[in-house]
Each structure stands twice: as structure tokens, then as C-alpha cells.
Amino acid sequence: MTGTAPMIQVAGVTKHFRRKTDLAERLAMRVGLAEEPPTVHALDDVSLQIAEGEVVGLVGESGCGKSTLGRVVAGMLPVTSGQVARDGKDIAKLKGAEARAMRLATQIIFQDPMSSLNPRKKVIDIIGEAPRLHGLVKRGEVRAEVERLMGLVGLDPAMANRYPHQFSGGQRQRIGIARALAVNPDFLICDESIAALDVSIQAQVINLLVRLREELSLTLLFISHDLSVVRYISDRVVIMYLGRVVETAPTDRIFDAARHPYTQALLEEIPRIDRRGHRFSSVKGEIPSPVNPPQGCHFHPRCPFAMDRCRIERPVLTQASPGHSVACHLDGGTGRPLSEAGVTTGDIPAID
Amino acid sequence: MSDHLLEVRGLRTWFETPKGTVKAVDGVDLTLERGEILGLVGESGSGKSITGFSLLGLVDPPGRVVEGDIRFLGEDLRSASPRRLRDLRGNRIAMIFQDPMMTLNPVLRIGTQMIETVRAHAKVSKAEARAMARDALGQVGIPHPDERIDAYPHEFSGGMRQRVAIAIALLHKPDLIIADEPTTALDVTIQSQILSEVQTLTREMGMGLIWISHDLGVVGQLANKVAVMYAGRIVERGTVDEVLDAPRHPYTRGLIDSLPMENDRGQPLRQIPGNAPPPLGRPEGCPFRPRCARATEACLTEPAETEVQGRGWRCFHPLDERAMV
């Protein structure tokens, strides 16, 4: 990390989704016969920085906005308000060649390789299409380039003429990774990229990502619901709940000294083979709908420590110690200290 | 007679396809007692779900249970009439699926569906059935069951729908529940709530539960016994502590080792090389042989199960019992 602008700077980004209305509906609304379609508050004033070379794990449950944030950072979705900057430049204002370069330098790998790979195309075309179209390789060199990429991700280059269905789930995910790497990105967003894979295959793909990150000096935003995977791969962890960042800290801090009650609950509920006969359930209640999020702190209806203030006032993300920020009213706005939390986060053993 | 709640011997469920016979389940033995939770663990294609379906006679053609003995409280289920099976299913034996919408009819209120289920197996009035349904909803932790009983499935969240499916499974206080990855699609905090309910209910009602899952962590926390499946066979079984603390089969060891929580950050994850064999291209002998570091020529013959005091494994070169992490 240098003193210059971080690679990715997300500043106060809010993203709302609203169903498009047709003319008849708009007329009906105008005369008061229909209500406005509901707004989904996917992101609510989210700020985040990613330094060059960093692996940031973005964790949260369904509907917390983690995938939306990934797409916003990649420039695939416009923001409702706020700003996303890449290398200090607002990506919404980039034009022409600069915008294209930014898009190529950021690539996303999705969860389900079967639905993100065109089933009618051969692997050579899936991986080779983008570099050819963008003029990164000459037409005659596409095959050699695809074979190089396949080797890089651990696929047999002899299989370049096969179709996606002829590969196993793990291999298809490798194809997805090769396709992302084909345009020489320096920043990869992995959106639940290994969630659909079997345990033994998951380990193979994680190892591949870690190796590629080192070999190609990649920066990674690793989006996942699985804290145990995130702990393994990330330098820093960002925890989201219902459209907001509730805690961010270096990985060890999150696992050893989480301050937000939600983070502590998540840690408590990771299924672990070394906890037998565990008494489940430390968080009560459902995840509220992002259409109608609760007032104040979004977590207050499920929080065992909620106070009156939490029901009214939104806690701001406050620095609790260097690099560790929490959005919680407890303990002077820095979350509850572990000793008082009554949550046994401490039984996560030190990494041996 | 001291019958087991469930006893399965040599179960084989095969699928005849134009390309050959897929031996989805190929010689599975299981025993379960009341109040026990058995975690049936395996990766995709290991045959764990088909094992569950086979027990209830729910395998559709071209699949067929070709061999084996399934006894529920001593009664032979394989030779039971369809009528008898129907009587047992949903009454004495219930199943919970990964997707609750497989159980729920989207166009009927859940109360209607539950009353129907109650009255299919018990001669009670509608009002009594409704009261039973409401109690079951309360039991699985659905708030305001009196109001929610009149809601449609789409008015529930995913976690609540799964609770409804569990409530339906519990309606007749079954002796045995077979649950096929029921919490896999749910968020961690919601999964945890449901596991907590299930744990309490099994204990209180003295049911037997087979929990089919790919997640060793969930099984480790929930179950008493574990059976690990690979390529249609149970390759290792025992109590949770035995199997997870001191696995004998290299595949079980490999699964545990590849969990990110079991690895040091900064070191490569220990991984099992290669892929599970395709169902039509399983290797001769031990199916795990091509991925196994301990394989020798002996493994070209299929290993039979070694059983020591209720603990079993299928391997010629089992890991040392004392070899703990």
C-alpha cells in the first residue's frame, strides 16, 4: 500500500432498485388508483476501500447487498447516489477508451458456471472471444493464448474444443476463471464463486485463486456467505447486513475480536466439525426485507443488546482500533467489547 | 423382539440408462435407533439422496431398488404393498426436502394442506386437524401460528417455508424422519435456528433422524452417528467423535482436511486431487483409488467393510486410529 489513492474507493454508495412501471400503471398511479412499486434498498450509504494487492472478503446473508456491491464496483450497475472510484477516478465519468480499459481491468467470476458459460460455445471460443474482440491477441494466436490460459488454471489444453457440459463443476469454474483472466485484469471480483462446489473441489479452486493472485499480482474482492472460506483467503473482512457495512477489520481481528453483535453471531453459527453437540441459535428472528428495512440500526430487531437509541438512530461506521471499524452504538459507538459480550467467539481457536 | 427403528442391509438402487447401468446406491447398510441422529455425508453423486429416496420407495423409473433389505421396526418395507407404504409415509416415516416448495402446493393455504395431511392418516374432524396443524406450526417456531396458518406458501420467507415443511413432517409424530439437505439453501443464522428446533424435537419426541448433507460441520454439530458415502457406498461409519476425530478412510480424512477452518492461512489448502468418478466410469476395485495417496495394487480389488465394535470402514490401508490432527 502506498500513499496514493486506493485501487477501489467506494464512497457513500446507495443503490435502490424499483420495478419499471408501464404506461397504464403510471396513469393509474397519477389518478391514485395504484401505489408506487416498492423500492428495494440494496445498498444504503456504503463506503469501502480496497488497496492494490489486497484480498477483501465481503460477507453477509441473502439480501444484504453484497452481490449488488460487487456489480456496482465492477461498473455493471449505476449507483443511485455516491461514487465509485478506480485509481482515484470516478468510474461513472470515464469515457471511451478509458472506460473500456477500466471494465477490462475488472472482471467478475460468478457462482454458477453453468449459467454464466454459453452452453453452445466451445471452450476455445468462450475464453478466446473477449481477447480477440478487444484486439488483445491476433486472430491467428487465439488458440495458443487460450491454451496458455487453460494451462494457467489447471485445465488440459487438449480439451479446448469441448463444450461446457463436458466438464465437471470444478472444471467449469476454472473455465470461468480463465475467461476472466483472458483480458489481463488486475482486479477480480469473485461472487460466491465456489459456493456451488463440493468440499474437495472447493479446496482445489481456492488454492488456484490464491496461486493466481500471487502469480499475477491480482487484487481480489471475494464475496461469500461462508466465513470459514473468507477467513482462509482474505486479508481483510467486510461484514454487511441489510445494505450496510456493519464491521470491517483485518481478518485476524474479525475472528479474534469481533465487536459487532451480528458479526459475533455469524462467527458463533459457522458449522464447525470441532464443536460437537453445539447448542444452535444465538440470533433470533428473520432477516428483514430490504424493501422495508427497520429504522435506526438495521440489526436492532434481532440484536440481544438493542437499546432505545438503536431503534431510532443509525450507528455510523466508527474506528474502534486502527483498521477496525464498527457500526454499533454499544461501547461509545465501537460495539461491545468481547469480555462483556456473552458470546463465545473466543472458542475459535488460534490458528495453529 | 428388539427390532431396530431402521435396518438397511445391502441396499442397491440402480438406474438403467441407454448408456449403461448407473449404480447410484451400491450396497449400503444402515442401522438407526430411536432418538438417534445419523448424518449421511457425501459429495454430489455419492448416492446419499437416492439412499434416502430408496428407503421410502420414492425412486422413480428408470431407477429401481434391485437388491437389499429395508426393515422399519422389523417390518420389511421392500415387500410392503403400495397401500401399506402410503400408510407409513407421512405418518410413521416423513421426509423433508432441500426445497420446501417440493412439499408445499403454491396455490393452497398451508392450513388446507396440513389439514389434508392430518386427515389422510387419522380419523379426526376438520377442527381437530386444524388445531393439530396450528400446534405443529407453533412447535417449529412460527410466530402467530393462528394467523399464519391461513397464509399461502409464497407469503413465507425461505426459512419459514422450511419450518412449515418440517411442521408437516412432524404432524403425525413420526418415528423416523429423513431430511435431505433441508438447510443447505438457507442463511447461516436461519440454518442455525432450524437445526436448534430439530435437535430439540428429536430429543423430546424420541424420533430417529437421518440427516443427509454435504456439510461435515453441520453433521458434526447435530448428529450422533455419521456415515460417509462415496460412489454409492458407505466408506466409513461410526459415532461423530470416532469419524471426525480419528477418520480411518483416506477419503474422510481428505474431506476434513480440505475444510478451510482446518487449514492454516497462508498455506495451500490440503486438497483431494482429481474429481469423483462419473457414475458410468467408476474404476475397478476401490472407487477412491485414483485419488488416494495410499492406494496400492491391493486396491484393484474392492475392499469389503471392516467392522470393529460398530465402527466400519472400507479400505485396505486405513489410517491409524491414533493419527489425530
* DSSP β-bridge partners for residue B15: B22, B63
Distance CA B209, CA B205 (A): 11
- Determine the Cα–Cα distance for residues B214 and B218; give it in Å rounded to an integer: 9
- Cα gap A79→B309, rounded to integer Å: 63
Which pTM value belongs to this model? 0.84
For chain B, what is the mean pLDDT?
89
Q: Which helix (H) or strand (E) element contains residue B214?
A: none
Give the model confidence (pLDDT) of A112-133 as tens digits: 777 888 999 999 999 999 999 9
pLDDT given at position B325: 40
Rg of chain B over CA atoms, in angstroms? 21
What pLDDT does residue A327 have? Answer: 93
B43/A198 Cβ within 8 A:
yes
Rg value, chain A, Cα: 22
pLDDT, position A279: 65
SS3 call for B26: strand
Residues 6+ apart with CB under 8 A from B18: none
**Which runs of E-coded beta strand occur in chain B?**
6-17, 20-32, 37-41, 63-72, 75-76, 93-96, 176-180, 208-213, 225-230, 233-239, 306-308, 311-313
Confidence of residue A196 (pLDDT cuts 50, 70, 90): confident
pLDDT (tens digit, 9 = 90+) per residue, B236-278?
999 999 999 999 999 999 999 988 888 888 788 888 888 888 8
* Residue A275 contacts B, CB cutoff 8 Å: yes
CA–CA separation, A194 and A281 (whole Å)? 26
Distance CA A69, CA A79 (A): 10
The pLDDT value recorded for residue B163 is 86
Position B127 confidence tier, pLDDT thresholds 50, 70, 90 = very high
In CATH, the number for domain B6-82+176-189+203-313 is 3.40.50.300
Domain ranges of chain B: 6-82+176-189+203-313, 99-171
Query: Cell numbers of A97, please?
Result: 477508451
Find residues 265-324 of chain B whose CB sits inside 8 Å of chain A: 265, 268-273, 275-276
Q: How many angstroms separate the CA of residue A302 from the nearest CA in chain B?
A: 11
Per residue in A294-326, pLDDT (tens digit) is 899 999 998 888 889 999 999 999 998 889 999
SS3 B153: helix
Residue B2 is predicted with a pLDDT of 60
In this structure, is the dihedral angle defined by the CA atoms of residues A330, A335, A339 and A345, taken in order, positive or negative? Answer: positive
For A318-346, the pLDDT digits (tens) are 998 889 999 999 877 777 654 444 444 33
Query: Are residues B271 and A200, on separate chains, in Cβ contact within 8 Å?
Result: yes
Domain residues for A282? 257-352
Q: What local confidence, expressed as pLDDT, does residue A281 receive? A: 61
pLDDT at B213 over 80: yes
Residue of chain A whose alpha carbon sits nearest to that of B325? A352
Q: Is residue A292 part of a domain?
A: yes
Position A218 in a domain: no
Rounded CA-CA distance A311/A318 in Å is: 18
DSSP state, residue A334: B
Q: Quick check: B35 contacting A, CB < 8 Å?
A: no
Nearest chain A CA: its distance from B189 CA (Å)? 6
Please give the torsion angle defined by the CA atoms of residues B159, B163, B166 and B167, in that order, rounded to the nearest 10 degrees: -170
C-alpha cell at B77: 418395507
Q: Which of residues 48-77 of B touch A (CB under 8 A)?
A: none
Mean pLDDT over residues A185-190, rounded? 94
Q: Is residue A9 part of a domain?
A: no
* Distances in whole angstroms, Cα of residue B277 to Cα of each of A169, A260, B127, B317: 13, 44, 53, 20
